[in-house]
Amino acid sequence: MKMLLLAVVALLFILCHPFHAHSEEPSVKVEAAWVQAVPPGAPATAAFMKVVNDSEQAVKISKGSSPAAEKVVPMITTRTEKGGKMVMGMETVEFLEIPANGSIELKPGGDHMMLMGLKEPLKVGATVKLVLEFEDGRPSIELALPIKKSAPADHSDHDHHEHHDHH
């Protein structure tokens, strides 16, 4: 009888506390994020950052949004040879992938989030709201990015005030 009672209690515990192996959203963090200042009247600028994925599965940034721009899209830098010279360009892509337990660095001269159709001049020292959205519908990350003339000299001092709110 004691074994039957123990079995029933164990079964009730299992039924009342289901095991969810993948119930947690992947842990995505943004570090050292900033937006490139551009001259007044410029139609676009870029946001740069390091995106860290501490989960066991890849994460894809599919798009973004910002009140400062008409649209925010992921872009990659391309390098092609034309006439014996290396020519750099940019290409819009469907997503930027952060590998499982890895990171990507969005930096000048490389991949970035492009803010297109700027609605007003971006002043150095101000901040820009940017929301990163993911392909699989996981919660977005909201950032407040400082506007800078050029890349910070040292990426080791992570600006945590610009960090993220998951929505």
Per-residue pLDDT, averaged over 127-131, amounts to 97
Is residue 16 assigned to a domain? no
Q: Is the confidence at residue 105, as pLDDT, over 60?
A: yes
Sequence-ordered alpha helix ranges (H) in the chain:
2-16
Per the structure, the count of domains in the chain is 1
Is residue 97 assigned to a domain? yes
Whose tokens are 């034309």? That residue is 82
Is residue 60 assigned to a domain? yes
Task: Give the pLDDT confidence of 14-38 residue by residue, as tens digits.
Answer: 444 444 344 455 489 999 999 999 9
Is residue 3 assigned to a domain? no
> What CATH code is carried by the domain that includes residue 136?
2.60.40.1890
CA distance 107 to 148: 13
Q: How many CB atoms lie within 10 A of CB 109?
A: 9
Task: Give the pLDDT confidence of 43-99 residue by residue, as tens digits.
Answer: 999 999 999 999 999 999 999 999 999 999 999 999 888 888 988 889 999 999 999
Domain that holds residue 117: 25-148
This model's pTM is above 0.85: no
Q: Which of 21, 11, 45 is closest to 120 using CA atoms? A: 45
Helix (H, G, I), strand (E, B) or coil at 112: strand
Q: Which of 77, 79, 64 is closest to 117 using CA atoms? A: 64
Is residue 8 assigned to a domain? no
Is residue 136 assigned to a domain? yes
Is residue 159 assigned to a domain? no
